[in-house]
Amino acid sequence: MSETLLRIAVVGDVHGHWNEADVQWFNNSALDLLLLVGDLAGYRHAGSIKVARSLAQLRLRTVWVPGNHDSAHPLQLLGEMLKNESLIRSFARGQDQRMADIRRAAGGVETGGYSIHTIPEADLAVVAARPHSMGGPRLGFRPYLERAHGVASIEASTQRLKALVAGSQATRLIFLAHNGPTGLGGSRMDPWGCDFRPSQGDFGDPDLAQAIAHARALGKTVLAVVAGHMHRRLKGGGIRTSFLEQDDIVYVNAAEVPRILRNRKEGSERRHHVELRVLGHGCEARDVWVEATGPVGIPDDRH
């Protein structure tokens, strides 16, 4: 059996389902790293700040990549869904400050997005991909991405990610993204297949797929790609594929929403995360449900 070099927890779309019990459990765990794929809250900025302040209490090294709900004004998000440029531009003006608020509230938590987070002792780097992804071929939140990251198109995002990969000294990579890559299937049940259109289709991010291919072309080992956004519970019923191994890469859709399941009658709850074990060769992923008893609370911000 191959030796476990690192134990990494991956938390899918939070949407307000996070509190001090999570902080306590992760702080007392034997994990080496915590990765969050974004969407801390739903539509309220105050909800994102509340979760971020709780994350700041973590002693475990933590990296998160912002999702489409993080720092977005509700009307800005509506504009993105409707592809209404007037709404997008009008309500993108405050996004810089909203993101600054979240970063400040999160304290020492590392905010990812076009960034490299190295673990030298394991010859490993976490590549945090494009933040605020809406999924699909279109670049969401372009006004903000252009101001904050100098990225104004999918092509520019692709080149930015490729440069990150090429510049990393690590030979082994894990990609952290809000939405997963294209190329893993166009059925509604596939890891990032579209479940909200009758035509279905591949709703992955093309820039992420090209960055992964570039890493492999450079001779780097891509151990895993972890993301969320496309919830595991499908619209219209059914459960999407959450784990997929292809070309020796483990793909994980961690978006178990809600990630906290409560039993009011018994006063108990179950909390979800994915555990990623980095081995001497490759890695393994599995769902983990943490059982807890005691007072059951309800988050302020619902998805």
* Residue 276 pLDDT: 98
Average pLDDT over residues 253-258: 98
Q: Which two tokens stand for residue 208?
A: 């992420």
* Residue 293 pLDDT: 55
* Residue 1 pLDDT: 54
* Residue 126 pLDDT: 98
Rounded CA gap, 84 and 87, in Å?
6
The larger pLDDT score, comparing residue 45 to residue 297, is at 45
User: Is 123 a residue whose pLDDT tops 80?
Assistant: yes
pLDDT band for 3, please (50, 70, 90 cuts).
Answer: confident
Rounded CA gap, 49 and 51, in Å?
6
User: Is 279 a residue whose pLDDT tops 70?
Assistant: yes
Query: For the segment 176-207, what is each residue's pLDDT rounded down to a tens digit?
Result: 999 999 999 999 999 999 999 999 999 999 99
Q: Which two tokens stand for residue 117?
A: 């987070």
pLDDT averaged over every residue in the chain: 94
| Ordered DSSP codes for 67-130 | -TTTT--HHHHHHHHHT-HHHHHHHHTTHHHHHHHHHHHTTTSEEPSSEEEEEGGGTEEEEE--
Average pLDDT over residues 111-116: 98
Rounded CA gap, 180 and 215, in Å?
16
* Residue 267 pLDDT: 81
Query: For the segment 95-106, what is each residue's pLDDT rounded down to a tens digit?
Result: 999 999 999 999
Buried residues in 22-32 as b, exposed as e (16+ CB within 10 A): bbeebeeeebb
Rounded CA gap, 207 and 138, in Å?
10
pLDDT band for 266, please (50, 70, 90 cuts).
Answer: confident
Rounded CA gap, 149 and 137, in Å?
19
Query: For the segment 63-80, what is each residue's pLDDT rounded down to a tens digit?
Result: 999 999 999 999 999 999
Q: What is the CATH number of domain 4-293?
A: 3.60.21.10
End-to-end CA distance of the chain: 41
pLDDT band for 298, please (50, 70, 90 cuts).
Answer: very low
Q: From the CB of residue 214, how many other CB atoms can be counted at a distance below 10 Å?
A: 18
pLDDT band for 83, please (50, 70, 90 cuts).
Answer: very high
Contacts of 86 (CB under 8 A, 6+ apart): 79
User: Is 55 a residue whose pLDDT tops 90?
Assistant: yes
Q: Which two tokens stand for residue 75?
A: 């009307």
Measuring CA to CA, how many Å separate 252 from each of 60, 165, 181, 191, 223? 21, 20, 11, 8, 11
In the chain, the percentage of residues whose pLDDT exceeds 70 is 96
User: Is 302 a residue whose pLDDT tops 80?
Assistant: no
* Domain residue extents for the chain: 4-293
Rounded CA gap, 126 and 55, in Å?
19
Beta bridge partners of 54: none
Query: For the segment 124-182, what is each residue's pLDDT rounded down to a tens digit?
Result: 999 999 999 999 999 999 999 999 999 999 999 999 999 999 999 999 999 999 999 99
Rounded CA gap, 289 and 15, in Å?
17
